[in-house]
């Protein structure tokens, strides 16, 4: 089952990274970590296999890496200000376009926030016993929250597999698939397209390509991962207590 767990942990890493980048501006600590990962090759390695499967992932990570390598030679404060300005224009409504990065803004009839799409995902979160942190004041169908919820579901699934609770792991895989199909995959492509067209720096343009490609690819990969669970018989002598 190592293949399933390794694949799940890789998926969770990407969802966590994407969620953080949409949640708020890049700060000094995150920028430094990303630059280090770009220079030592670890960031590229994380996405190598995915880039071979989807050209949008490859294009996106290449744009991000190129930006980070150039940023390494610049004043960090200048880079942070540049990224903050682009983040504000893209995701805080400074220019008015693109729309608010939430499912309601893209999917509701009036393109308003806090519509039925927000209520739907809020109900799903509560059914799972979770909610967004109070410090994050954006609506529950904000892209960062939906991506974070996918990370949570993946983590829960891995925990159940490691305990040998394959029935619960399969149920959680089903929730992952439905959440992708009924929510993220319905609107993320349009958000990504808007970011690609409106971003001033390649970091966020690359993020858009990466997000679009990865989430689409992840939706396709779930069938294979679910099949791995269906055909797995745990060795109970090695299960965690």
pLDDT of 236 > 70? The answer is no
CA distances, 190 to each of 4, 21, 102, 114 (Å):
30, 18, 11, 18
**Within a 13 Å sphere around the CA of 50, how many CA atoms are in the beta-carbon half?**
30
pLDDT, tens digit, for every residue of 37-64? Answer: 999 999 999 999 999 999 999 999 999 9
Q: What percent of the chain has pLDDT over 90?
A: 88
- Which has more confidence, 229 or 119? 119
Q: Which two tokens stand for residue 87?
A: 């983040």
**Cα–Cα distance, 42 to 36 (Å, whole number):** 9
Query: What does DSSP assign to residue 237?
Result: G
pLDDT, tens digit, for every residue of 1-16? Answer: 678 999 999 999 999 9
Q: Helix axis angle, 76-91 relative to 202-230, nearest 10°?
A: 70
Q: Integer distance in angstroms from the first to the last C-alpha of the chain?
A: 17
């Amino acid at each position: 089952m190592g293949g399933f767990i390794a694949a799940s942990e890789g998926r969770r890493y990407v969802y966590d990274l994407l969620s953080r980048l949409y949640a708020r501006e890049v700060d000094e600590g995150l920028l430094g970590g990303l630059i280090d990962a770009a220079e030592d090759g670890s960031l590229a390695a994380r996405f190598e296999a995915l880039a071979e499967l989807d050209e949008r992932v490859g294009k996106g990570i290449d744009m991000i890496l190129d930006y980070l390598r150039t940023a390494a030679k610049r004043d960090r404060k200048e880079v942070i200000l540049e990224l903050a300005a682009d983040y504000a224009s893209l995701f805080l409504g400074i220019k008015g376009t693109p729309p608010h990065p939430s499912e309601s803004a893209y999917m509701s009839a009036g393109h308003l926030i806090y519509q039925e799409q927000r209520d739907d995902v809020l109900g799903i979160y509560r059914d799972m016993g979770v909610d967004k942190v109070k410090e994050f004041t954006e609506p529950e169908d904000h892209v960062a929250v939906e991506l974070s919820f996918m990370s949570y579901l993946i983590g829960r699934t891995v925990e159940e597999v490691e305990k040998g609770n394959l029935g619960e792991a399969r149920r959680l895989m089903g929730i992952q698939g439905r959440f992708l199909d009924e929510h993220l995959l319905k609107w993320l492509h349009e958000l990504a397209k808007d970011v690609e067209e409106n971003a001033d720096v390649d970091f966020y343009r690359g993020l858009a390509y990466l997000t679009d490609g990865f989430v689409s690819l992840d939706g396709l990969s779930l069938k294979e991962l679910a099949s791995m669970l269906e055909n797995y018989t745990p060795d109970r002598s090695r299960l965690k207590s």
